[in-house]
Structure 1
Amino acid sequence: MAGRIVVGVDGSEQSLKALRWAAGQAALTGDSLQAVMGWEYPASWATAPGVPPDFHPEQLAEQSLDEALSQALDPAVAAGVTRTVVSGNPAQALVDQAEGASLLVVGDRGHAGFKAAVLGSVSTRVTQHAPCSVVVVRGE
């Protein structure tokens, strides 16, 4: 019985590596692949001057996700990927989307120690809270 693999994509090289790894795993297991991009307004959004009235961050996130898929995957593979854009904290979006999935895949930016504690880490959060197994794709 085929399952579903959820992969977090933010356009970074690390997330593209995770996307390629997840696509390879899905090909091996017969699972479907769901690419998820979470976005949220920056804290300074309300006071930011000059934000165009026709600016739609969700559309920008959808475009970024499409670009990441076309950059990382063969067009035939990319066409079969379910695309999900979620407004909210990216780590929480991945945890929520992973409900019922067989696997959650994320990239690792390589931050450690104090820098990781200050910046927060999507990979750390999802490994602690995901409702399924998690693979963190690291470096080379």
Structure 2
Amino acid sequence: MAEGEVRVRRVYEEPDGDDGARVLVDRLWPRGLAKSAARLEAWCKPVAPSTELRTWYGHAPERFAEFARRYRSELAEPERAEALARLRDLAAAGPLTLLTATRRPEISEAAVLAEVLAEMLRQPGKHPGA
């Protein structure tokens, strides 16, 4: 992976030499995973979706588009926007791997974050919900 690249992986997968900075973006710690085994650079809880949104979504594939829209709106909230800016800085400095415990990372908040970060890196100053 190169500078500015963002990938999404399950936190339970073995780290890859190309991962770069590894950041867990879930609000809750993954079940059954020792903190020492995760090999994280950071755990960025503030960027996670609200409990209400996460509960509503329930990883139902048919709700993903609406989840992504609502989550992008949440990312504009001050605490989340600050955490998102830290992730953008990590991605700008080198490869970034967003980690999640979900079984389907392609329909997770990590996938939405990867898209948002890619947009931010291409168009600095762009609002995540825009």
- Output the TM-score relative to the length of structure 1: 0.34
- Output the TM-score relative to the length of structure 2: 0.35
Q: Larger Rg: 1 or 2?
A: 1
RCO (CA 8 Å, sep 6+): is it higher in 1 or 2?
Answer: 2
Q: Which has the higher strand share?
A: 1
